[in-house]
Structure 1
Amino acid sequence: MTLKVTKFGGSSVSCASQFEKVKNIVLSDPDRRFVVVSAPGKRNSSDSKITDLLYLLDAHRQYHVDASNVFKLIKERFTEIKESLGLNYPVERELDEMYARLQTMTQNEIVSRGEYFCARLMAEYLGYPFVDAADVIRINHDKSIDWDATRARLRAVMNTTSRFVFPGFYGLSSNDKIMVFSRGGGDITGSILANIFDADVYENWTDVSGFLMADPRVVKNPEPITHITYSELRELSYMGASVLHEEAVFPVKESNIPIHILNTNRPHDAGTIIQETSNVPRKYPITGLAGKPGFLSIYIYKKHMSNEIGYMRKVLSVLERFNVSIEHIPSGIDSFTVIVSKAEVDDSLYEILHAIKKEVHADEIKVQEHIALVSTVGNSMSHQPGMAGRLFEALGRERINIQMIAQDSNEINITIAVDEKDLSRTISVIYEEFVHPDDSQIRPVEVEPFIEVVNVALETE
């Protein structure tokens, strides 16, 4: 029998009608025995997420401002779900009890209640037992998972039930306090359960039918990505193409458990399957592409730099002192350029430049702003000669200037820097080159099994 851990995001549990969709999905497949839920999300574009309201409730508490109006909104949302579905769980009374002790609660405990109350309602609606994440998931002081303790508690639960509903987003710290993950952390909860259960698949239900090959705001009707490897996903999600919390990958990646991204509102769509390896033939030589603006470059030139040992390290140590992360470092014989996020240096750029000048006595330092990065990603690119040439030729035809080029050693990613004003056009040109070229150029690509050699890291709802 196949075992599935099934997680539903905030949009999937935003109201009673969404609860009904969840129930139909869960009960349609007996393998969906372990259900993780987020807090109710937005019902429409002008609505608020329950988690946002709980953070607002905590802010009112901290500043001793009357929070009754915010609490009323939260209570109405949960009461509406309960009454619409004819449930008996006394959510109103428990919410009132929470509000009565608000001043003694921590922020983590307050914001975790969105998942808690949603899971209690969903458990009754499905007829499944409720299991509290605080009774199972143990989190260390450094926010890592205490796997041994969590595994032992979860297996104890399994001795009493073969199915349950479980709240995402939180667990219990080593000092017995509620601790939450970062926003979207319900995805992490689902992957923890999938890892410990050694699930056959981890289903992540949201409001989109998986990943697309490009941003639909830039490319009209982009092709869906039906299969993607963890490493490809990491490359694309770093540029913002993400529907999954990046930390949710690691617990399942090490066991090669597939993550299946699915759409609660369109449950029959194929979605996207994420796996460590993929033997599925690819129709196109690229898997997808993504880009984002907001970068700048710092160019450093020094005569005979190549003869000075440790020169680049000294520059990077300056950026480290200012807590600036590095995106890319294209280099020459006597010069190199550091690409960084503009937001990270906005308040300290001149201090950084002065410190670099003082540290390495550069002959020239130049800054260029308004840079965008575009990543073209695909495991199959390494099996296609001339991929970089085609990309550069296509951009050259459109007179788009490439300011920087970087390609990783696995040959699954070509990243270029362009002017921000050319970002959308760059993505469109590359997409058309590899996805909609002349018919004679379209051919299936046989993908060899890809096994990642170097470990790499990966709004959700």
Structure 2
Amino acid sequence: MKVSKFGGSSVATATQIKKVLHIVNSDEERRIIIVSAPGKRHAEDTKATDLLIRLYEKVMNQLDYQTKKQEILARFSDIIDELGLKTDLLQKIDDTLEHHIKHLKNNPPRLLDALKSSGENFNAQIIAAYNTQQGVPTIYLSPKDAGIIVTDEPENAQILSSSYEKISKLRDIAEKVIIPGFFGYSETDHIVTFPRGGSDITGAIVARGVKADLYENFTDVSGIYRANPTIIKSPEIIHEITYREMRELSYAGFGVFHDEALQPLYRYRIPVVIKNTNRPDDPGTYIVHDREINRRRVVTGISCDKGFTSINIKKYLMNRQVGFTAKILKILADNEVSFDHMPSGIDNISIIMRTSQLEGKEEKILNEIRSQCEIDELNVEHDLAILMVVGEGMSAVVGTANKITSALANAGINLKMINQGSSEISMMFGISTKEAEAAVKACYQNCYA
């Protein structure tokens, strides 16, 4: 049994939807389908979700929102008309949008979630209706009816473990099932969206719930590249990658598959394949629990993400002071700041975090560290990029670190910090943001040329 998820570009137009349903209907094992909201039809286009956010902004600013609503309706009308779908869904879409606005306009976080989720919700209904009209019995299930019950914090839904029992019953449905991605329902019956990458998360939750043999994630590329294709011209596609490797690469900028979507699948070892809707016969990239290590090509992928800040602290005999690091981490926790890396020496420690974590809090945190921790030196470094070099078994292959550092040195790139810790599968390098692309090119050339 396969659970298949199709991203926004895969369901952006009637033509694309027909491709999707051809893929779905050509394999009887593809029984549960998760769909996104319509994505961009061309480079200058606007995603349906972005149109819905703009509608929300109009409502919140007490502006006339009818023109923006008509733009959204036109987007779905184009799809319905091009499919030749005989339905009253367009009126239902209009009524639903007005219902959300009328009942939730005094509760902005709830209204935003309800409107943002509408793109997936409407698209799923259209796709299910069209497939049925084509003679393939297909039912639409809302996340609530599918059993996707989540926590109640707006824009931060987390699946409740009790949901999986009801989700497991989806296996018993004989028809094809279409479920909208990106959101669930709370126990108080509110629509709550998942964080970014939400449709990937929905697909993973359903795949785990029904204990699928395979979770297929269809997008507009034929797999996961070893490096960012906007930096490296025609990079190789990774044929097989582990959950752990994918987690490390996603953290540092690989955007094809959201790292949070791996969590429901990891425990049950459900494999994932990333495939191309426009080239469905391409093998794609498999994400698995374990794989054989290629010692001649031990580096699986290279990624680099920008927007980091490092708080650097020095204190003589720091290593002998019990609880020193705990004090610093408590200050961060009290200010609701999480950190990403913490490389250290005997008398110094660096705490690396996303710069966005410090917005409006930086000076307060620094002052608290100074007053509570009796430090010798404190400085902050902004405009950092994090370069991740990832590969299972990397630590067991002699010369891997030297290969990477030599490539960076030869490219004239200054390393501000290196952190491998106890990881067997990744090395992290802190570099200047302006050198990020050059670093990726240097490492790729040295690892794969």
Q: Normalized against structure 1, the TM-score is what?
A: 0.88
2:390, 2:95 → 1: CA distance?
Answer: 51
Gap runs ≥5 in structure 1: 437-461
One-letter amino acid of the counterpart of residue 143, structure 2:
A
CA RMSD, aligned part only?
2.1
Could you give the per-residue CA deviations for residues 142-193 of structure 1, whole angstroms, max 9, x where no partner exists? Answer: 64323434533651x5545342222222222111232222233121221122
2:383, 2:62 → 1: CA distance?
Answer: 43
Which fold has the larger relative contact order, with Cα–Cα distance below 8 Å and residues 6 or more apart in sequence? 1
Call closer, same or farther: CA 1:76–1:319 in 2, change over 3 Å: same
1:221 counterpart SS class: coil
2:265, 2:444 → 1: CA distance?
Answer: 30
Gap runs ≥5 in structure 2: 105-109, 133-137
One-letter amino acid of the counterpart of residue 119, structure 1:
A
Quote the residue 1:148 is aligned against: 162
1:176, 1:28 → 2: CA distance?
Answer: 36
One-letter amino acid of the counterpart of residue 227, structure 2:
A
Quote the residue 1:233 is aligned against: 246
Q: 2:381 aligns with which of 334, 349, 368?
A: 368
One-letter amino acid of the counterpart of residue 18, structure 2:
E
Quote the residue 2:185 is aligned against: 172
One-letter amino acid of the counterpart of residue 104, structure 1:
H
1:166 counterpart SS class: strand
Q: Are 2:150 and 1:139 aligned?
A: yes
1:240, 1:223 → 2: CA distance?
Answer: 17
Call closer, same or farther: CA 1:349–1:97 in 2, change over 3 Å: closer
CA contact (8 A) 1:89 1:120 kept: no
2:117 counterpart SS class: helix
1:46, 1:125 → 2: CA distance?
Answer: 28
Call closer, same or farther: CA 1:162–1:283 in 2, change over 3 Å: farther
1:331, 1:230 → 2: CA distance?
Answer: 27
2:179 counterpart SS class: strand
Call closer, same or farther: CA 1:296–1:116 in 2, change over 3 Å: closer
Q: 2:139 aligns with which of 129, 141, 146?
A: 129
Q: How does 1:233-382 map to 2 (within 5 A)?
A: 233-279=246-292, 281=294, 284-382=297-395
1:147, 1:89 → 2: CA distance?
Answer: 37
Q: Are 2:39 and 1:41 aligned?
A: yes
Give the % identical residues. 37
2:316, 2:171 → 1: CA distance?
Answer: 67
Q: 2:29 aligns with which of 21, 24, 31?
A: 31
Call closer, same or farther: CA 1:245–1:296 in 2, change over 3 Å: closer
Q: Are 2:20 and 1:6 aligned?
A: no
Q: Are 2:413 and 1:403 aligned?
A: no
2:48, 2:227 → 1: CA distance?
Answer: 30
Q: 1:186 aligns with which of 199, 217, 221?
A: 199
1:348, 1:148 → 2: CA distance?
Answer: 37
Measure how far apart 1:360 and its partner are: 1.9
CA contact (8 A) 2:295 2:397 kept: no
Call closer, same or farther: CA 1:268–1:96 in 2, change over 3 Å: same
Could you give the per-residue CA deviations for residues 388-417 of structure 1, whole angstroms, max 9, x where no partner exists? Answer: 122222322333222211114232001111
Quote the residue 1:55 is aligned against: 53
Measure how far apart 1:32 and its partner are: 1.2
1:179, 1:340 → 2: CA distance?
Answer: 27
Quote the residue 2:17 is aligned against: 19
2:338, 2:141 → 1: CA distance?
Answer: 40
CA contact (8 A) 1:377 1:414 kept: yes
CA contact (8 A) 2:228 2:303 kept: yes
1:153, 1:329 → 2: CA distance?
Answer: 39
2:309, 2:297 → 1: CA distance?
Answer: 32
Could you give the per-residue CA deviations for residues 46-99 of structure 1, whole angstroms, max 9, x where no partner exists? Answer: 212112222222232333321111111111111111111111121222123224
1:129 counterpart SS class: strand
One-letter amino acid of the counterpart of residue 388, structure 1:
A
Call closer, same or farther: CA 1:415–1:113 in 2, change over 3 Å: same
2:309, 2:394 → 1: CA distance?
Answer: 28
1:421, 1:368 → 2: CA distance?
Answer: 14
Call closer, same or farther: CA 1:334–1:245 in 2, change over 3 Å: closer
CA contact (8 A) 2:303 2:389 kept: yes
Measure how far apart 1:419 and its partner are: 2.3
